[in-house]
């Protein structure tokens, strides 16, 4: 019995060692970037790294000062919020139609899923041409609409799952009480599904915030969001590691913060709702 206990203790010890090693592998690169964002350029380059480097807010100050990073943040915020705000109501209706009415059957559901699998690069070329023709490239409107191409299918897919998990009896009861389908959706079903919908909205916001391909093709001087700006810093200011680190931290931090609210839905969302949360 004693040896059994010992074996268990040892195996638990090694499990902890492996898990801590793995976590460090994930966390250290981010922490190193955080460190670099607070040192001056000279220390950012120093190899071997200084044990006690300088500490400065200059990188952040410069980004928000001369570099106008605030504008890029606001661009990201506007586009992500607008696209989410547009996609979520549409997706709720669509998801409800799929879940409750089995509208369109499997074929239509498949089409929506397939849309989500589309490589963005296939869509962006024609979208770019159309947007330029309509003078919608480098406008918030154009980008908001284009972002629907990846936001909507993924939201519908998750929301179909949400609505499917709400008992159908509720709709039937509402119908008995003389509510029309539309009324029953808005008054009965939507309030129940609301927490889930809010969480997926956050997911959609994160996706839009991180989107790069659509952004780099469709944005320009006036609408450039954070990831495009960061990518440009790579080539234009490839030498300024400290500032680039600060920019990267600015891009990551809000997402890490808000992801705390959607922990439970993060996996469901990313696995296309194939599993239930």
Cβ nearer to other proteins, comparing 134 with 194: 134
Q: Does 263 bind other proteins (CB under 8 A)?
A: yes
Q: Binders of other proteins among 234-253, rule CB under 8 A?
A: 234, 241, 244-245, 248, 251-252
Q: Does 255 bind other proteins (CB under 8 A)?
A: yes
CB of 195 to other proteins, least distance (A): 19
* Count of residues near other proteins by CB under 8 A: 92
Q: Binders of other proteins among 135-194, rule CB under 8 A?
A: 145-146, 148-149, 152-153, 156, 181-182, 185
Cβ nearer to other proteins, comparing 56 with 210: 210
Segment near other proteins (CB under 8 A); pick from 55-63, 65-73, 89-97, 192-200 = 89-97
Q: Choose, by CB under 8 A, the member of 1, 2, 3, 47 that binds other proteins.
A: 47
- DSSP states of 194-249 as a string? HHHHHHHHHHHHHHHHH--HHHHHH--TTT--HHHHHHHHHHHTTT-HHHHHHHHH
Residue 246 phi, psi dihedral angles, 5° rounding: -60, -45
Q: Is the preceding peptide bond at 48 cis, omega within 30 degrees of 0?
A: yes
Torsion angle defined by CA atoms of residues 177, 183, 186 and 188, in that order, rounded to the nearest 10 degrees: 10
Q: Choose, by CB under 8 A, the member of 81, 82, 113, 179 that binds other proteins.
A: 113
Q: Binders of other proteins among 208-237, rule CB under 8 A?
A: 209-213, 217, 226-227, 230-231, 234
CB of 126 to other proteins, least distance (A): 4
Q: Does 122 bind other proteins (CB under 8 A)?
A: yes
Q: Does 32 bind other proteins (CB under 8 A)?
A: yes
Q: Does 271 bind other proteins (CB under 8 A)?
A: yes
- d(Cα 194, Cα 163) in Å, to the nearest integer? 10
Contacts made by residues 224-232, CB under 8 angstroms, sequence distance 24+: 224/72, 224/75, 225/72, 225/75, 225/76, 225/79, 225/80, 226/72, 226/73, 226/75, 226/76, 226/250, 226/251, 227/76, 227/251, 229/69, 229/72
Q: Does 125 bind other proteins (CB under 8 A)?
A: yes
Q: Choose, by CB under 8 A, the member of 29, 65, 68, 70 that binds other proteins.
A: 29
Q: Are 240 and 233 in contact (CB under 8 A)?
A: yes
Q: Does 197 bind other proteins (CB under 8 A)?
A: no
CA 115 to chain centroid, in Å, comes to 18
- d(Cα 45, Cα 57) in Å, to the nearest integer? 17
Q: Binders of other proteins among 56-85, rule CB under 8 A?
A: none
Segment near other proteins (CB under 8 A); pick from 9-17, 52-60, 62-70, 191-199 = 9-17
CB of 55 to other proteins, least distance (A): 18
Q: Are 147 and 79 in contact (CB under 8 A)?
A: yes
């Amino acid at each position: 019995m004693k040896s059994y206990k010992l074996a268990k203790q040892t195996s638990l010890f090694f499990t902890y060692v492996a898990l801590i090693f793995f976590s460090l592998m994930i966390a250290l690169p981010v922490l190193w970037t955080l460190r670099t964002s607070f040192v001056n350029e000279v220390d950012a380059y120093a190899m071997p790294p200084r044990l006690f480097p300088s500490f400065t807010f200059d990188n952040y100050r410069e980004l928000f000062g001369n570099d106008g990073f605030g504008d890029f943040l606001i661009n990201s915020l506007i586009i992500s919020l607008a696209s989410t705000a547009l996609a979520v109501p549409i997706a709720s209706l669509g998801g409800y139609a799929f879940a409750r009415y089995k509208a369109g059957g499997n074929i239509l559901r498949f089409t929506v899923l397939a849309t989500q699998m589309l490589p963005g690069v296939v869509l962006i070329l024609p979208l770019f041409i159309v947007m330029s023709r309509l003078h919608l490239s480098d406008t918030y409107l154009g980008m908001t609409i284009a972002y629907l191409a990846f936001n909507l299918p993924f939201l519908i897919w998750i929301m179909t799952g949400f609505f499917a998990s709400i008992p159908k009896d509720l709709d039937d009861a509402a119908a008995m009480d003389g509510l029309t389908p539309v009324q029953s959706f808005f008054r009965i079903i939507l309030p129940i599904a609301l927490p889930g919908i809010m969480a997926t909205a956050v997911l959609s916001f994160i996706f839009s915030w991180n989107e790069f391909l659509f952004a780099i093709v469709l944005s320009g001087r006036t609408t450039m969001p954070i990831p495009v700006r960061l990518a440009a810093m790579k080539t234009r200011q490839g030498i300024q590691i400290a500032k680039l680190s600060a920019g990267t931290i600015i891009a990551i931090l809000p997402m890490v913060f808000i992801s705390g609210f959607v922990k439970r839905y993060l996996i469901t969302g990313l696995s296309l709702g194939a599993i239930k949360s």
